[in-house]
Structure 1
Amino acid sequence: MTASKGHRLARLILDLRTPMLYLGILLVAATAAFTVISPQTLRFLQAHLNQELAYFTVTDPFLAHVRLGLGLAIFTTVPLFSWWFWKAMAGPFNLTRPTRVWFVLFSCLLFYGGTIFCFMVTLPLGVNFLLGYQSEQLQAVIAVGKFVTFVTVFVLAFGFIAMLPIFMVFGAKSRLLTRKSFERNRGYAVLIITIIAALITPTPDMVNLSFMAVPMYLLYESGIMIIKLLKIE
């Protein structure tokens, strides 16, 4: 790592230190607040995915509601986190205020677009496929904790992954990477995307992995196209 890159990284860490502390406090408070309304949210999730849930320990329902509250807290604080993040990036990478505003705007649009698409399309498809192996002899009994973890991780991960194009544009605009380097390293991108999808996907089967990996690669290609359209070399 060059001295210039090391200086940028050190400055970025210092600029993010206080916002991350505030964000942590906000997440704790928001989680507590959302935990109160999580029973209604859980009923909505059950109706959307048409699932009956069970629990096997006395703490399962409480912990499931806390996890759901945390997921909702993360979901709602993304705009604030995005604002702080790009504000911190502005100094080390000389981002102008209009550029920073555009990055914040499109980060939020991509995140929420990804979560909505996942919730409405990818998640129901994945759940229906996985539960399609039920039979008269083999009936699913889904634990509420596993269900909440699966849904929140899958939806939030999809949202954050949907932000990939904006980070690719940032990398090209900041001269950290070039469009040609993205094009040249497609093979490595496929490998990294597959590994990330395998780590994020709550279940290890190839179907769920493909539900995460294929959109990630399409986002990667769209990032290259956007860089080309913006004429960033």
Structure 2
Amino acid sequence: MSSKKIAQFLKKFLKLWKQKGALIIFLLITIYLTFFWLSPYILKYFQINYNQKFIFYSVSEPLVSLLKFSLVLTFILLFPFLWYFLISFFNFLYSFKKSHFWLFYILGIFLFYLGIVFCYKVTLPFGIKFLISFKTEKIEPAISLGHFVNFFSFFVLAFGLIFELPLFICFLSMGKIINPLKLGSYRKEIFFMIVIIAALVTPTPDAFNMSLLAIPLYILFELGLFLSKLIQKSEAISKVSILLWRIPRKSLRKISSFIWRHST
């Protein structure tokens, strides 16, 4: 990973920004304002889904919450474009094969949205029900709109990005920063680290919710190791095939030159 390549990539990006910057800003503002208009309806759906009523403690809290929520939704919608930019950056550094480039791109989008769906459908319902279960006859739950938006945004984005683990393992392996064979020998330590991450990220401290994240994370880690080893093997095979192709070409040249010299 050389600084020259990074500088070249930034130059290309700035050139593209000069050409398309105004259009990109216009689209971002349009999408953001659309989500700002839709946010009250989406939050109302969450109220019905979780059987709760949101409240607010300050005059500015609804506006600030809607602005934050719209920003998160805009990021989620535009993730494929942001991911394409990031993959292009890694492609510029490591020169992916075309098949690898599109594999990383499609798999990255799939894993990001899979993490969001997993969080929304599995983790958040369990977490919210668990936290609200501490109510009593004298203590009724009242969820602040601002706190819910922060809670929802953090966990949804965290799960989406955490599910990108296999691809980041591949990138680190291709950059020679980690060795998948050596990394595989530390499975026990990595599983322990995954359990700690699951304990920090999941909204509830119970073992069931922790396992809901820890088990998929470990599977994603194994998937990252498998892809890294597969890419290393394909690179080794391509190098060997190139070498095997060069050897007969060199020998044929020598034979042809030998025949040419002796025939004349």
With structure 2 as the length reference, what TM-score do the two structures score? 0.72
1:91 match: 92
SS in 1 for 2:128: helix
**Inter-CA distance 48–232: structure 2 relative to 1 (3 Å threshold):** farther
| 1:57 Cα offset (Å) | 0.5
State the match for 1:146 in structure 2: 147
Confirm whether residue 66 of structure 1 aligns to residue 62 of structure 2. no
CA contact (8 A) 1:11 1:92 kept: no
Q: Once structures 1 and 2 are overlaid, which stretch shifts more, 47-56 or 74-83?
A: 47-56
Q: Does 1:80 align with 2:76?
A: no
- The answer to whether the Cα contact below 8 Å between 2:6 and 2:93 also exists between their aligned partners in 1 is no
Residue equivalent to 1:37: 38
Q: Which residue in 2 is equivalent to 1:47?
A: 48
Local SS of the residue matching 1:133: coil
| Residue of 6, 17, 23 corresponding to 1:10 | 6
Q: Which aligned runs of 4 or more in structure 1 are off by greater than 6 angstroms?
A: none
Q: Which stretch shifts more, 143-152 or 186-195?
A: 186-195
CA distance in 2, matches of 1:15, 1:207: 49
> Amino acid of the residue matched to residue 158 of structure 2?
A
Summarize the alignment of residues 105-116 of structure 1 with structure 2, pairs less than 5 Å apart. Answer: 105-116=106-117
Matched, 1:104 2:100: no
- Map residues 67-216 of structure 1 onto 2, 5 A cutoff: 67-186=68-187, 189-190=190-191, 193=194, 206-207=205-206, 210=210, 212-213=213-214, 215-216=216-217
Q: Deviations over 1:146-180 (max 9, x none)?
A: 00111121112111111111221233344332222
CA distance in 1 between partners of 2:91 and 2:46 (Å): 38
Contact persistence 2:198–2:213 (CA under 8 A): yes
Question: Percent of aligned pairs with the same residue?
Answer: 28
Kindly indicate whether residue 232 of structure 2 is the aligned counterpart of residue 232 of structure 1: yes
Do the aligned partners of residues 93 and 38 (structure 1) sit closer, same or farther apart at CA in structure 2, a change above 3 Å counting?
A: same
Q: Which moved more, 1:171-180 or 1:115-124?
A: 171-180
CA RMSD after TM alignment: 3.2
8 Å contact kept, 2:9–2:92: no
Is the Cα–Cα contact under 8 Å of residues 82 and 108 in structure 1 kept in the other structure?
yes
| CA deviations over 1:158-203 (Å, ceiling 9, x no partner) | 11111111221233344332222321344554565466557756x6
The whole-number CA distance in structure 2 between the counterparts of 1:11 and 1:212 is: 38
Distance in 2, Cα, partners of 1:195 & 1:30: 37
Deviation per residue, 1:94-135 (Å, 9 max, x gap): 112332111110000001111111111111011111111111
Give the letter for the 1:96 counterpart: K
- C-alpha contact 1:82 1:104 (8 A) present in aligned 2: yes
Rg larger in 1 or in 2?
2
Offset at 1:225? 3.8
Change (3 A) 1:227 1:33: same
Aligned length: 226
Any unmatched runs of 5+ in structure 2?
A: 234-264
Deviation at 1:20, TM superposition (A): 8.9
